[in-house]
Amino acid sequence: MLLDVGNSQRPRLLFILGIAFLFLAGAMMTHALQTPSQTQQSARSESSQIPTPPSGQSATPVPTGPQSSAQASQNGLSVVVLDPAHGGTDLGARGTGGIQESEIVMEFTAEVRKALEQQGFQVVQTRQANDNPSFDDRSAIANAQRNAVFITLHIASTGLPGTVRVYVNSDLPAVTTANGFIPWDRAQAPFLGLSRKLGDLVQGMLTQRFKGSPDTAQSATIRQLRTTAAPAIAVEVSSVVVNDRADLDHMASGVADAIARGVAAFKPLYVVPTTGGVQP
């Protein structure tokens, strides 16, 4: 037996065992802390084709040359970037019974993804887990895609429960630099017209299913949409203030179906804008 030693040896052995246990526990904790950041680093190196958002906002431009627009027009809309809002320490809206926006939007995203893939779209997500990429990081994922639209999903803390609102960014006059690039912080400007068309189509589909929702998309100054160089909308479901979480869960498939049908209806209208940001 390991501990079958003389009385005088026992405390020393126990002390050594204790030290060894502490050392092992420390090593395991260090390993556990390092693993996520390493995973993140490797994920970043894999997605090195994604342009890095600027350190100073207006520094890095979003290229939309004539070549890319011609290419886009030929290829047509094929990618939908889905953005489950919030995440990580940012829980978003919080309702009764522990309902958290950051958690529910992931469930909605899974449903929307399924419905869009059934329509033949390729879906890219801005987050897969309970983390919180910055607004710029999320936009960078969308801006790296060709022939894409961007949809950010939210659950409101106000509004009539059981209704859904679609938002497009408020007017942002296009500003182009001499070399034909769009400044990062105004990336949405040339796409506002298309965003409005996409928003109205998706809102129309949602209103058919969720009575009491508006007929057309609303305008709002949404930070996430401003730096996104693609037709971009925000979909906000009302609300976290429901008596039963199941009320929200029941809405997911209807919201997903309406978004997928709205995007499919938008597909023939999709062209990359040739004004504002494109060098002649």
Partner 1 sequence: MTPPVKERWKFWLTTLLVFVVVGAAISVPIIRSRMKRAARLQQQTEEQARRELVQTVPMNPSDPRVKAKLFWLSDSDSSALAPVTVELPLSSDPVLRSKQVLNTLLAGPVDVELRTLPPDAVLLAFYILPDGTAIADFSEALATSIPSGIASEQLAVDSMARTLEANVPEVKRLKILIHGQEVETLAGHVDLTGTFIVHADTSQAPANPVAAPAAGKVGAIAAPTLTAGSSAVKLAQQ
- One-letter identity of residue 9: Q
8 A C-beta contact, residue 114 and residue 256:
yes
* Owner of token pair 């040359």: 65
- One-letter identity of residue 158: T
| Helices 101-118, 245-266: crossing angle, 10 deg rounding | 40
Contact string (CB under 8 A) for partner 1, positions 182-201, x = contact: -x-xx---------------
What are the distances in angstroms from CA 51 to CA 61, 131, 136, 259?
10, 20, 10, 27
Smallest distance, Å, CB 91 to partner 1? 9
Site for partner 1 in 224-243 (CB under 8 A): 224, 226, 234, 236, 238-239
Candidates 119, 130, 216, 274; binder of partner 1 (CB under 8 A) is 216
Q: Which stretch binds partner 1 (CB under 8 A): 28-36, 73-81, 213-221, 245-253?
A: 213-221
Site for partner 1 in 153-182 (CB under 8 A): 154, 156-160, 165, 167, 170-173, 175
- One-letter identity of residue 224: Q
Smallest distance, Å, CB 155 to partner 1? 8
Q: Euclidean distance between the first and final Cα of the chain, in Å?
A: 85
Number of residues interacting with partner 1: please give it, by CB under 8 A.
40
Smallest distance, Å, CB 34 to partner 1? 30
Pairing of β 232-237 and β 148-155: parallel
- How many other CB atoms sit within 10 Å of the CB of residue 30? 10
Nearest 10 degrees: CA dihedral of 166, 232, 51, 127? Answer: 30
The SS3 call for residue 193 is: helix
Decide: is 133 part of the binding site for partner 1 (CB under 8 A).
no
Q: Nearer to partner 1 by C-beta: 207 or 239? A: 239
Site for partner 1 in 41-80 (CB under 8 A): 58
Site for partner 1 in 86-125 (CB under 8 A): 86, 90, 92-94, 101
Residues lying near partner 1 in the complex (CB under 8 A) are found at 58, 85-86, 90, 92-94, 101, 135, 154, 156-160, 165, 167, 170-173, 175, 183, 185-186, 214, 216-224, 226, 234, 236, 238-239
